[in-house]
Structure 1
Amino acid sequence: MRCSAMAETRALLIGATGVFGSRLAERAAREPGLLPTLAARDRTRLDALAARLGGLPVRILDRERIGAADLAGFDVVVDAAGPFQASAPTVIEAAIAAGVHYIDLADGRDFVAGIGVHDAAAKAAGISVIAGASSIPALSHAVLDTLVADWRRVETIRIGIFPGNRAPRGLAVVQAILSYAGRPVRVWCGGGWDEVPGWGMTHRWPVPGVGRRWASVCDTPEQDLLVERYRPRDSAEFFAGLELGLLHLGLALLALPVRRGWLRSLRPAARPLRAMATLLLPFGGDIGAMDVIVEGGDAAGDPRRARWTLIAEGNRGPYVPTLAALAMLRRFRDGRPPAPGARACSGILGLADFAADFATLEIDTRSE
């Protein structure tokens, strides 16, 4: 394992041919001092991506069967494959055994919540194991840390992510959403924990500069991490929405048999439902957004409300979930890794770590 400043950092990118993995690979390939190797299961897609990015090296790998020997010669491994719901920590265990730093883009609630199980082993191996280096919690917490830096208390937090309909839909993302649609989701509301149906609490969310988007509750690590880090007195809620009402409300309708106990999960239907949604790609737009709203009290105890909004036009929204992992790779390259141990990517990165990428991707952010 090497991560001395200015050294060439060898990174293995698992899931490199996916919606997020390919965008991370594209950005990483342009970074001085980063030497990415692309890994996935599909040779044809992998070779095509490698050729497009200038002939990067490739590996045929299955994240469920990876071992320490597969990581030999690398400094850091990034798992961008997913889905992480009900996923085994195979890559983490291989990284620890190989003494290789680990980053993932995990959005699985239990997966991220359980990352601390690997803390002692990661410390013993002298490596950093970082889960959730993505829009949540890495970017969302960087935003909140800025918004509430001088506040005395936090009352409510609301976070919403709204992709444009023309954004590509990876199978792993579809599987993740369907894994909890209609199933009970624990949310912090009214100063305590409650259960609501996944993809429930459906409403219209006005996004500044974008307009009204559909929003429904999701089962993500944010539900726990927001409460743990910011101690909101009233509520901490995370929502997502599909731009087209036909898709968003259609999913809510499909989730009804799960809510009533007639079906265990919609996840087995991920492939056909994704295919059906793909037929609607020509409709809607290519503008994605992320909205963070927080209310509380400042240092003087006066009521405060703050809001941060991200707007990504031209189908550049799918880059956003990859930028935290890219920022982490830069830290390893520059000899600034987090202390050894296993933790969620909360409080590690600041908004400054994202600023340059927002600028080059022409992604707009605004605060109020």
Structure 2
Amino acid sequence: MQRVLIIGGAGRIGSNIAKDILTHTDAEVTITGRNTQQGSITQQQLGSRAEFHPLDLANPPELRAAVAKANLVVHSAGPFHYRTTDVLRACIEQGVNYTDVSDERSFTRKALALHPEAETAGVTAVINTGVFPGISNSMVRQGVEALDETTSIQLSYVVAGSGGAGVTVMRTTFIGLQRPFDAWLNGRWQSIRPYTERETLEFPAPYGKANVYWYDMPEAITLQQTFPVKSVITKFGVVPDFYNHATRAMAHWLPPIVLRSPKTVEFLAHVSHSMTSVTDRFSGTGVAMRCDIKGQQAGTATHYVSTFAHHSAAIATGLGTGSIAELLLSGKLKHPGVYPVEQVLSTDLFKATMNSRQLEIHQTLNKAEITS
């Protein structure tokens, strides 16, 4: 019997990953966390093929021992701004495949730097999985393959309220506002200030027209490495729209030294979580994504658009990461090394896992709808 170790599996994101793995594979799941009471409750909800094991990531021998018992490790203990690559390194040392829900640029770079070691050890490590990044990366690959030549990629994301993902996602949002970041624009890296250049785009129902802003995502660097394009744009927004105005105010009015304080991040994260616990009742906790790719097909300038929506951002993240876990466990995804999703997951496999989870990607090409 195969066993999956989910680091942070007692949390909202981790437990949704566990549910997907238990649904689509025969594997047994070990979830970890620091809160024993929460872990026990989550284990009972997941059923007899799941167990809870308390784990301290700051204890290397304990971490290595837990990894050694697994066939696959899923790292879902964010925010990844604060994480080292110790879990990935332990997997490489133990010869265990790995995937994660990392969503932060510096962590992505540190993980990709371990590619030679993972390749030598025969370990397949797929990072940046989930919904965004994750499903979004595969949407880009699908679109690039639909064109003869690609010049620009834009990924735009909208989350309703908390997204159902808990206070950790709030921390991640405010950490992402702390510093300018580099974006690949017109063939060169340029410094961008987060939460600028508000743009109104059309998203799937029930969102319709929604507003998004520049936001730092790891796709900004991995897509530039994967595809020969002149520009990669990543934007993010929240509904209801008043959250965008509040977030922009935090990004531009608070002194940098205050915004970068861990105490400030904790305060803002908990205040925001309290607010969304009220507004989630009418806004929902869903996610919508839009992929705009410009290029050429048959010598003609072409604009490809694909969209995706789900009623829960947390559940969608679980489905995205769970699908990668399923492929790793089955041996269908076997490429030793460390990769972002778009470099290692074929469009055929992507479509198969989306179909098995009844998830739809809607696509248009020059205003003519094409099937997924």
Normalised by the length of structure 2, the TM-score is: 0.87
Match of residue 15 from structure 2: 22
Match of 1:43 in 2: 36
Q: Which residue of 2 aligns with 1:3?
A: none
Determine the structure 1 residue equivalent to 2:302.
Answer: 304
For 1:202-233, what per-residue CA distance to the aligned partner results, in whole angstroms no more than 9, with x for missing partners? Answer: 23222144311121121111111121222222
Range with bigger deviation, 199-208 or 218-227? 199-208
- Counterpart position of 2:244: 248
Structure 1 residue 242 displacement after superposition: 0.7
Number of aligned residues: 357
Q: 1:310 to 1:326 in 2, by over 3 A?
A: same
Q: Which amino acid aligns with 1:279?
A: V
Which residue is equivalent to 1:267?
265
Deviations 1:341-360 (A, max 9, x none): 22222222244445466456
Retained in 2: the 8 A contact 1:182–1:259? Answer: no
**Does the alignment pair 1:163 with 2:163?**
no
Structure 1 residue aligned with 2:370: none
Report the CA distance between 1:63 and its aligned residue: 3.0
Verify the 8 A CA contact 2:72 2:329 in the aligned structure 1: no
1:337-356 pair list within 5 angstroms: 337-355=333-351
CA RMSD of aligned residues (A): 2.3
Change (3 A) 1:284 1:262: same
- Are 1:207 and 2:206 an aligned pair? no
Displacement, 1:259? 6.5
Unaligned runs of 5+ in 1: 1-7
Cα distance change of structure 1 residues 359 and 257 upon mapping to structure 2, 3 Å threshold: same
8 Å contact kept, 2:165–2:314:
no
Comparing 350-359 with 129-138, greater Cα deviation is found at: 350-359
* Alignment partner, residue 120 of structure 1: 116
SS at match of 1:297: strand
Q: d(CA) in 1 for partners of 2:172 and 2:162?
A: 19
Change (3 A) 1:50 1:264: closer
Residue in structure 1 matched with residue 89 of structure 2 by the alignment: 93
Aligned pairs (5 A) from 1:181-192: 181-192=177-188
Mark the runs of 5 or more structure 2 residues left unpaired by the alignment: 365-372
Q: Which of residues 38, 57, 77 in structure 1 aligns to 2:51? A: 57
Quick one: distance in 2 between partners of 1:328 and 1:178? 28
2: CA distance, partners of 1:47 / 1:94:
25
Q: Is the 8 A contact 1:203 1:215 kept in 2?
A: yes
In 2, Cα distance between the equivalents of 1:339 and 1:169? 30
Q: What does residue range 297-336 of structure 1 map to in structure 2 within 5 Å?
A: 297-298=296-297, 300-312=298-310, 315-336=311-332
**8 Å Cα contact 1:159/1:291 also seen in 2:** yes
- Per-residue CA deviation, residues 57-87 of structure 1 (Å, 9 max, x unaligned), is 1111133435312222211110011111142
In 2, Cα distance between the equivalents of 1:172 and 1:9? 29
Higher helix content, 1 or 2:
2
More divergent stretch after superposition (14-23 vs 56-65) = 56-65
Q: Which residue of 1 aligns with 2:281?
A: 282
1:133 aligned partner: 129
Amino acid at match of 2:253: P
Q: Specify whether residues 120 and 287 from structure 1 end up closer, same or farther in structure 2 by C-alpha distance, changes over 3 A only.
A: closer
CA distance in 2, matches of 1:77, 1:116: 17
Change (3 A) 1:310 1:204: same
Give 3-state SS (helix, strand or coil) of 2:79's partner: coil
| 2:21 aligned partner, one-letter code | A
Q: Indicate conservation of the 8 Å contact 1:138/1:347, yes or no.
A: no
Determine helix, strand or coil for the equivalent of 1:220: coil
Distance of aligned partners of 1:260 and 1:11 in 2 relative to their CA distance in 1, 3 Å threshold: closer
- Distance in 1 between the 2:163 and 2:179 partners? 26
Bigger shift: residues 354-363 or 330-339: 354-363
Q: Distance in 2 between matches of 1:10 and 1:260?
A: 44
CA contact (8 A) 1:182 1:200 kept: no
- For 1:360 and 1:332, the matched residues in 2 are separated by 16
